């Protein structure tokens, strides 16, 4: 994530290089991925691939690049802000995102083999906003998550990266990382709230193509 500009005494901009710049040319980068990609249907709750930990990405090659392009295309078709590979039936630890933070800044990127940082107690300020999921279409529920997150992993070339998010974007980073370890957001709800979310899903038609659970 790009930091707010900080200038030294000589007027030179200082850059925190710990986190990637996923803001610059966000729209152009997303469009390029999407135009190269092919949209795929979304897997929904109950599909086995969503309920198990995915395999680590070990080959950072053209096949991975094509998968990422397809994920951006699929995400746009479904009008989502984040998508994990198992949501299009691929058993690999990679997710993409195209998400605004709470200040209205757009973040676009892809993370392979993500791991969330453990936050110190003073950074664990919980936000209990509504959350939804493309794999639980039409359902929403309040879920408390930290309003700040850092995820570390690799980019499409295999280079180490770290992504920082606040507010809604922090929720997105946590949600997508959960997917790749076999968790849906409804798994973190009470039994009553989970039942209500599944009822919402059953009562509404998906607005995008999904894979039926036969």
pLDDT band at 6 (very low <50, low <70, confident <90, very high): very low
Q: Work out whether strand 210-211 and strand 42-43 pair parallel, antiparallel, or are unpaired.
A: parallel
Per-residue pLDDT tens over the stretch 132-189: 999 999 999 999 999 999 999 999 999 999 999 999 999 999 999 999 999 999 999 9
Separation of alpha carbons 117 and 95, rounded Å:
17
Q: Considering the domain 19-205 in this protein, what is its CATH number?
A: 3.90.45.10
Q: Is the pLDDT of residue 8 over 70?
A: no
Q: What are phi and psi of 76, to 5 degrees?
A: -65, -45
Per domain, the residue ranges of the chain are 19-205
133 annotated binding-site participant: yes
Question: Residue 213's pLDDT is what?
Answer: 84
179 is in an annotated binding site: yes
Encoded tokens for 14: 């200082």
Read off the pTM. 0.90
**DSSP character string of 89-118:** T--BSEEEEEEE-TTS-EEEEEEEEEEEPP
Q: Residue 56: which pLDDT band, with cuts at 50, 70 and 90?
A: very high
Query: Pick from 176, 212, 13: which is nearest to 81 by CA?
Result: 176
What integer pLDDT is reported at residue 19 of this predicted model? 96
Residues noted as catalytic? 176
**Residue 7: what pLDDT?**
35
Rg (CA), the chain: 17
pLDDT at 5: 35
CA dist 156 and 139 (Å) reads: 31
On whether 172 is known to bind a ligand per the annotation, the reply is no
Torsional class of 18: left (φ above 0), alpha (ψ -120 to 50), beta (otherwise): alpha
Least confident stretch, 6-15, 84-93, 94-103, 118-127: 6-15
- For CA atoms 197, 198, 201, 203, the dihedral sign is negative
Beta bridge pairs of residue 112: 94, 154
């Amino acid at each position: 994530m790009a930091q707010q500009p900080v200038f030294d005494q000589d007027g030179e901009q200082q850059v925190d290089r710990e986190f990637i710049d996923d803001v610059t040319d966000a729209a152009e980068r997303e469009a390029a991925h999407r135009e190269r990609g092919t949209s795929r249907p979304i897997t929904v709750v109950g599909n086995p691939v969503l309920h198990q930990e995915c395999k680590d990405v070990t080959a950072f090659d053209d096949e991975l690049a094509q998968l990422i392009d397809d994920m951006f295309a699929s995400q746009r078709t479904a009008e989502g802000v984040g998508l994990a590979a198992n949501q299009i039936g691929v058993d690999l630890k990679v997710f993409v995102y195209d998400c605004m933070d709470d200040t209205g800044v757009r973040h676009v990127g892809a993370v392979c083999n993500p791991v969330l940082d453990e936050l110190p107690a003073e950074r664990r300020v919980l936000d209990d906003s509504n959350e939804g999921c493309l794999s639980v279409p039409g359902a929403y529920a309040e879920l408390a998550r930290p309003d700040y997150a850092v995820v570390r992993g690799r980019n499409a070339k295999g280079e180490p990266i770290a992504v920082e998010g606040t507010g809604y974007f922090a929720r997105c980073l946590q949600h997508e990382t959960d997917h790749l370890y076999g968790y849906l957001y409804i798994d973190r709800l009470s039994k009553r709230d989970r039942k209500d979310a599944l009822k919402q899903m059953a009562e509404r038609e998906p607005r995008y193509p999904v894979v039926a659970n036969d």
